[in-house]
Structure 1
Amino acid sequence: MAKKQKNDSLATEAAISLLKIYPKTGLIKELSQILNDTDISKLTNKQLSEFYINAAIAYAHIMDIYAVYHDVQKEYKTDWMYYYDKAIDVCSNDILLTKYLQTKYFFIVGDYYASADAARSILSKVPCSNELYGEAAQILARCYQARGKTLEQTYYQALAAISSVTRADRENMALNLLGNLICSDKRHMQRAHSYLASAIEFSPYRSNPAQTDILLNSINNINLGYRVKWNNNMLLFWSLMVFVLLSLVLLAALLARNKRNLDHIKKEKDLATRANSNKESFMKNFLEMCVLSTERMNDLCRFSLRKITAKQIDDLYQYIRSGRIMNEQRKEFLRLFDKSFFLAFPTFVDELNQLLRPEEQYTISADQMRLPPELRVYAMIRLGITNVSRMAKAMGYSTNTLYVYRGKVKAKAANKQTFESDFARICTP
């Protein structure tokens, strides 16, 4: 109406007054619209003070509405902090209002002791019929809830509910929260149901989704409590029936247990046999490697002696420089390594394939017992060899080549983010 009459001053005052009302009616978007549309440069000092104070109180109410919706609450926290700072600056002469804003601030930032001290200061200075009394009592209840003190929480929640009823505050969130708090005690379930029913019946703001959700969830909790009580009675009956069945099940369980024990013993026997077989294979491969190394060393010594005797130093130098000795030695080492690894971890390739995309899986025949270079890198990692430099020397590759091989396998993974952790679990008991 003020806008139609082109009375800008009256329209501004009306908009500032609506700041405190909109959050209670669930009109959050309309609140944001007022804040965005208001040109604070055109406000008088009095209007500017009321604007910041009402905005801070409005956002404090929003923070209360979404107290159980932490993700949503975070979206409004920055705006709340901004208007809080502005409101503190303009209301420094109003001690009670300053204390109230400080109570909200300390609670939001997690300083529950400071918030409780400020709230108690308000309770000592205002009567129960004052709105600030109910707000302060509500904050105290939440502070004690955060500190895990249920008795004190219930006391101050009751004070908040009394203040709400005394003021004929039909929003009744305090009464609802009190009912929700005491409904966990079966002795007070009927009273809690009465509180919650009254809160829903007389609440005029059912369009507010956050408040409605809290109220409905609370009623659901009461309904669940009655169901649990009925279920407990049924449980007693079924317990007697189950007792009879357990007698039969116990006998079957004993027989199954004996069978499992026999299967476990058989499995341990198979593992022990396999371990002994692997030990023999390892010893055989180790001795074979030692013999081959000794033979090659003897051959090298005889070859070197002949060349030195014949004064063919250049030939000896070229032979050693060619690296043929190391290549042959390394080739034999990798052959024995692959063979030993397949004996120790026969399911390695199959389990690794399960981590890869179907079209990227490896196919290695049982009699081949030869690992591709990239799988040989992961085989050494499975054995606990993580020193890249040492691994590169053993395989005759550069460290960059090893990283390329690792990346090649990881690129084939079905889930690249969890590939490393998934790989660490393969071939484990």
Structure 2
Amino acid sequence: MKKIAIICVILCTPLLINAQTQIPTLDDLDHEIAMSSQYDKQYEDVIRNVKKQLHAAKSMEARYDLSNKLFNLYTSYSVDSAIVYAMEKQKIAKAMGNQSKVNDAKLNLAYLLIRGGELKDASDIINSIPRSGINQDLSFYYFSTRKTLYRTLADAALIPSQRKMYKQMEKLCNDSVVDNNQSPDIWSRAEQLVNRQQYEQAKKILLDAYHHLKPGDRQTAFVSISLADIYGREKNVEAQKQYLIAAAISDIRNSVKEYLALQQLAMILFEEGDTKRAYAYMDHAMNDAVFCNARQRTIAMADVWPAIEKSHERETKSRTLKLTAALVLISLMSIFLLVMIIYTRRRVVELRAIRARLSNTNELLKESNNIKDEYITRFLSECSAYIDKLDSYRKQIYRLVTANKRTELLNTLKSQEIIDRELDSFYSSFDETFLGLFPNFVEDFNALLKPEERIIPKQAGHLSTDLRIFALIRLGVSENELICSFLRCSKATVYAYRSRVRLKSIDPDKFDEMVQKL
């Protein structure tokens, strides 16, 4: 049984189950295109299974039927493979001596040659079939193939008069398809009504069939493309797009590689400005046509493909330029942000350092104030004590003078006892005050010296002379003259003490500086 005959019979049969109610969208079509490779894999599995059956078939009748089945499977999938099985059918039919089957195989081959653009060879094959050899069962396929030939010739004709002639012959063939069949197929009947500009009647027939079909049915593509053609004639673009989408979905689900719907939809989308989808759809259609080796369809698409491709390239370049500009802007902003972050971090570090210095300065000021407060208090106390002692000393001298104790007076004035006692008292007071302010001074000071050279005071709470020198340095008194005056010794003595202790330190060069930080 011939492929087109099968389609026609099915189209004439009311399908009341799983009727189509939803309107397919472009997103649905995008999803189906993404799934096309999976559909193709399933389709090829079916082909492989039929080939296995053919190899196992023994009878000529079975081999003919299976070759016919493979021809039908390959017709819209691979023209070259379909030609192989059309010729195999013809070979088997001749061996069987069945002229009707031979003619059927010839029409198969003619149909494929039409799609391959070999119109002269196709016409010769069709004309080689005598009209007497066309029985009732074959007449539909014969006139359908002639109709396809004249439609293709009309599309390829450059001279208007020739195009008009072929169009007229196409209509006559379609009328013959309808007239020579007791139950003409819906597709041919609708085409006849369209040729007579009876669009509403044609739509009624097709819509009734459409709503009884499932989205994945192969017949959906034929009905939908016919509806799209009618709506296109009526300038109803939205309806035209809807049925082109439905036809394209049916084609993809059935692994049809030679089709018209997706190509026409791409052109409409291109005219509407949807260049991205138009390019994607036309690219998919072109790849399928090349895969199928449908040269006639490839040539037709080649006329419009450059315009879509050029527009797509312009749009892509525009998007690339915008993206580049955006990236440059983002990069500049990132650099600016990075600079600001670095600057801010530096400022934070600087502020922290300033804060640390301020905190240290505040601590030093606080320490200095404490030292001043302590020493001023001690100074006032010592001054008051010295005044009392001077007054007591004055009274003692006065008594000795008044009593005329000249010898005792001279002894008192010559004696160093008072001076030594007062110095001891003064140093004890200094030591007590200093160690009260810096209780860990001796331990911290010794930490700067080598372990074997550390200085241990003879009496707890008192400082030795060398420790007293560096205690003054800790208080900020670093001039030897002031230290000499304070300790009542010579500069050489002070220098000797400082030099000797410095040599005992771990780091002599920074010793005085480290002492001031204790």
TM band (smaller chain): 0.3 to 0.5
- TM-score, scaled relative to structure 1: 0.45
Structure 2 length normalisation: TM-score? 0.38
Bigger Rg, which one: 2
